[in-house]
Structure 1
Amino acid sequence: MNVKAERITIAVAGAVIGLVSVALVLLGNPANMGFCLACFIRDTAGGLGLHRAEAVQYIRPELIGLILGAMLLSLFRGEFSVRGGSAPMTRFLLGFFVMIGCLMFLGCPFRTVLRLAGGDFNAIFGLLGFLCGIVAGIYFLNRGYSLKRSYQQTRPEGLVLPAVQLVFLVLVLAAPAFIFFTKEGPGAKHAAVLISLLAGLLVGALAQHTRMCMVGGIRDFILFREPKLLIGFCMIFVAALLANLMSGHFHPGFADQPVAHTESLWNFLGMLLAGYGCCLLGGCPLRQMVMAGEGNTDSAVTYLGLFVGAAFAHNFALASSGKGSTPNGRIAVILGLIVVTVIAVSNTFNKKEA
């Protein structure tokens, strides 16, 4: 496939994903949250009882579908490759703090785009922070930052996380007494399980086929002036914006935005941390979930870091709410920026040849 064809493909995929995201909102998901990896992981952690924030407890089928969709298409295309062993504990820690940053802002990079498409101007500060975080990561990439190579592993190792997603699907369908379901709040707003699952499968397959990644798109544009990956997220924004305008879901402004707060500094710093950590990981949460579906166990470990970060954020009052950030959350974000910088420095300037 030539460059022009690749750009057209990713543009079409981005447009489809943008439309799917708005459709999920129309069918029940919270406003400006048709797709948000951070929010879905947070809700799923709550549904499993790993945190007790009653407003956000629901095993999200979109997340299940995303990973399974990426796995199924990668198997079909012969691209399922099980690799791992590249600094797993460091990746876990980076994933943890990426989630802390996302929940300070109240959304992942994907939701940043969707919030902008819904008229939430607070997301402008999040996007600026995200860009600055990636620039900080690029500084270290240009100086040799690396988490070392990964190694071939057995196929069962790569199937563990998809298998866990199937267990989650059984739990959300069976709804046993030990699984939590929000009765009022963002976790109670969701499309039907089958619709959410199908949407996740579609987005996972499209993201796997196009290698879509917001971090990669911005990084590649800055380093190589290659806009291909960035085109996908631009088209998500355009398609979601047009769909919101046509459906009456575009509400421009700063105040009274759904699942958002107006503290510009902490929106900026939260996504600064997220962008910084994602750049050092080599991909945004969407890309990490897709690679986990493709058998990459390093990305699966990153997913676990995101998952534990979501549980910690709500168990220790680190996550923001519509009322704003918390003192604990502000401390956690500053600590995260320090930890991520230590990781960047130690894997750039203190390396020893293997």
Structure 2
Amino acid sequence: MKNEKIVIVIAGIIIGIISVTLVLLGNPANMGFCIACFVRDTAGALGLHRATAVQYIRPEIIGLVLGSCLMALSKKEFSPRGGSSPLTRFILGFFVMIGALMFLGCPFRMILRLAGGDLNALVGLVGFICGILAGIFFLNRGYTLKRTYSLPKIEGVIFPVIQIVFLSLLLAAPAFIYFTEAGAGPGAKHAAIAISLAAGILVGILAQRTRLCMVGGIRDLVLFREWKLLLGFLAILASAFVMNTATGNLSVGFANQPIAHTDGLWNFLGMLTVGFGSTLLGGCPLRQMILAGEGNTDSVITVIGLFAGAAFAHNFSLASSAKGPTTNGMIAVAIGLVVMLIIAVVNTRKAAATVNN
């Protein structure tokens, strides 16, 4: 167990260094990695939304899935499975993305924003923890989305193959793929493709081996007093903070933070939505990507929900900006919390009814 914790800490340190290095090499500030932002950019590149400022097929996402897949195959852990309430998982993934784009980042970016001195992320962290606690309340009462089933290997291979297709589209840059023009927004800021892809693969490998998950870390600490998974994210925070300090990229405060807003209430509620939904799903967006690479089609459905959420967020003005949240976004987050509550209650009652029978 001690050696396992050491491995997780080392992995976290490496991931934190990689994240800041990606920023130094061209990625947006405090966005070495962000599952929500990178899915949003990729969705834009595929034409699922037309927000021209955020359109780019992010190699880091491709690398995460391929790295996880390669490691799972090498360790004989590639296990295609699925069938656990797929439509419910799609809906939860959809609203997790809505919450993330209200806050302007996934849990991974929340940590990187903290490491860069963005104190708005502290408010988001409090909301995130409260969302996880809400999910734990239902877990303790029997919430479940039911079991998964073994599937043919071809089912597990499809999503990694799709990532190879995305990489081909990125390299070929055909006319039907959209890219943000230089200087026109965050989508135009990125490290070189080879570097981003290699970084994604390495992080995918490390996350697959260590089972890194921000939701899982906090959940396990609350339920079992187990710090193991959380140590990885604390290590990411520490190493990224040191890197930002050393490179002069540390800016402590609430105002004028890169790709962030200062509306505390909606930063809180956005990450509350992410924490609650991710707990009901069994893992944060990063963990869903890694599981998808391992052949878990339930996680693939969740990721498709993330893509759909990103498309809706920018097609219907739900996503926040540096100016703050939109009215449409506030309504969407409120609806998302209600829907998640209904899902939690219904699936807890079903579990209780099954036990009683």
1:161 aligns with 2:162: no
Letter paired with 1:84: G
Residues 40-55 of structure 1 mapped to structure 2, 5 A cutoff = 40-55=38-53
- What is the number of residues matched between the two proteins? 352
Cα distance in 2 for partners of 1:308, 1:262 equals 26
Tell me the CA shift for residue 190 of structure 1: 0.1
Percent identity over paired residues: 67
Query: Residue in 2 aligned with 1:134?
Result: 132
What do the CA deviations read for 1:176-220 (whole angstroms, capped 9, x no partner)? 011111011100000000000000000000000000000000000
Give the letter for the 2:87 counterpart.
M
Aligned to 2:197: 197
Which residue matches 1:23? Answer: 21
Q: Which residue of 2 aligns with 1:262?
A: 262
Shift, 1:350, TM fit: 3.4
Q: Equivalent residues in 2 for 1:79-94 (5 A)? A: 79-94=77-92
Q: What is the aligned partner in structure 2 of residue 173 from structure 1?
A: 171
* Aligned: 1:339 with 2:342: no
> Which residue identity is paired with 1:24?
L
Residue by residue, what CA displacement relative to the aligned partner does 1:92-145 show, whole Å, maximum 9, x if unpaired?
A: 000000000000000000000000000000001100000000000000000000
Corresponding residue of 1:123: 121
Counterpart of 1:353 in structure 2 is 354
Write the letter of the residue equivalent to 1:155. Answer: K
**Residue of structure 1 in register with 2:252 after alignment:** 252
Deviation readout 1:247-297 (Å, 9 max, x if unpaired): 000001111100000000000000000000000000000000000000000
Number of the residue aligned with 2:95: 97
Q: Distance between the aligned counterparts of 1:126 and 1:317, measured in 2? A: 21
Report the CA distance between 1:353 and its aligned residue.
Answer: 3.1
The letter of the residue matching 1:337 is L
Residue 34 (structure 1) aligns with: 32
SS at match of 1:144: coil
Counterpart CA distance in 2 for 1:33 and 1:39 is 8
Distance (whole Å) between structure 1 residues aligned to residue 120 and residue 55 of structure 2: 25
Are 2:317 and 1:300 aligned? no
The runs of 5 or more residues in structure 1 that have no matched partner are: none
Within 5 Å, give how 1:100-115 maps onto structure 2: 100-115=98-113
SS of 2:267's equivalent in the other structure is helix
Code of the aligned partner of 2:2: K
Separation (CA, whole Å) in 2 of partners of 1:318 and 1:192: 30
Q: Determine the structure 2 residue equivalent to 1:143.
A: 141
- Look up the SS of the partner of 2:354 in the other structure: coil
Match of 1:12 in 2: 10
Alpha-carbon distance in 2 for matches of 1:53, 1:262: 22
* SS state at 1:125 partner: helix
Counterpart of 1:274 in structure 2 is: 274
Name 2:225's counterpart in structure 1.
225
Which residue of 2 is the match for residue 185 of structure 1? 185
What are the superposed Cα offsets for residues 206-237 of structure 1, whole Å, 9 maximum, x if unpaired? Answer: 00000000000000000000000000000000
Counterpart CA distance in 1 for 2:159 and 2:309 is 17
Q: Deviations 1:280-322 (Å, cap 9, x if unpaired)?
A: 0000000000000000000000000001000000000000000
For residues 46 and 320 of structure 1, what CA distance do their matches in structure 2 show?
A: 16
| CA–CA separation in structure 1 for the residues paired with 2:324 and 2:186 | 16
Letter in 2 for 1:69: G
- Structure 1 runs of 4+ off > 2 angstroms? 350-354
Counterpart of 2:291 in structure 1 is 291
Query: For residues 29 and 192 of structure 2, what CA distance do their matches in structure 1 show?
Result: 16
**Normalised by the size of structure 1, how large is the TM-score?**
0.99
Partner of 1:73: 71
Q: Distance in 2 between matches of 1:304 and 1:43?
A: 14
Report the AA paired with residue 170 of structure 1. Answer: S
Residues in 2 aligned to 1:52 and 1:283: alpha-carbon distance in whole angstroms: 29
SS of aligned partner of 1:147 = coil
Shift of 1:349: 1.5
Q: Which amino acid aligns with 1:306?
A: L
Secondary structure at the counterpart of residue 181 of structure 1: coil
SS at match of 1:348: helix
The letter of the residue matching 1:9 is V
Give the structure-2-normalised TM-score.
Answer: 0.98
| Partner Cα separation in structure 1 for residue 122 and residue 227 of structure 2 | 20
